[in-house]
Amino acid sequence: MASISAWGCHSPQGETGLIPSSQRVSAPEISGFPLNFGDSISLAKYRGKVVVLDFWATWCGPCRMELPSLVKLNQSYRDKGVQFIGLSVELNENMSKDYFDKFLASFGITYPVALASTQTIQAYGINPIPATFFIDKSGKIAATFEGLRSETDFTSALDQLVAEPGT
């Protein structure tokens, strides 16, 4: 996929509809250094669930503005078969684990979060951030949102994906 040329935050644009099932492609596997929960991050272990994969950074204003909606939606949808995963793109920032622990606690993030590997960032073509991928129950990308999006956009995509039949 695309290579990374520069980091930046992004403003909203685009549609909120899902990619038709017949046109969806398999989501690349993810990897990174876990920041909470201590487990390795993997899409494979969430097969059969809808996955919301959010790429962000602590220094990104739109990312920080979007996080409260993601935290709220995680609480609302986790019992409906939805798994949220956060991937920070802060590869060379040399932030301590304590820094991330405080950041995650300040936003009340209770879903798995990791520092995204370079391979994962490249596989998803991340630039700009925030970038949020909605992955269907069969492991295929059903929607991609770049930039700050409304909670309504996310809810619409989630409601549609939760209603789809499983794998």
Mapping DSSP to helix (H, G, I), strand (E, B) and coil, where does residue 154 land?
helix
Q: Residue 9 catalytic?
A: no
Catalytic residue among 51, 57, 60, 157: 60
Catalytic residue among 63, 71, 121, 135: 63
Enter the tokens of residue 53.
């994969």
| H-state helical runs in 57-142 | 61-77, 97-107, 118-124
Q: Is 74 in contact with 68 (CB distance < 8 Å)?
A: no
Strands 82-88 and 113-116, sheet pairing:
parallel
Q: Is 114 in contact with 86 (CB distance < 8 Å)?
A: yes
What single-letter amino acid sits at 120? T
Residues with a known catalytic role: 60, 63
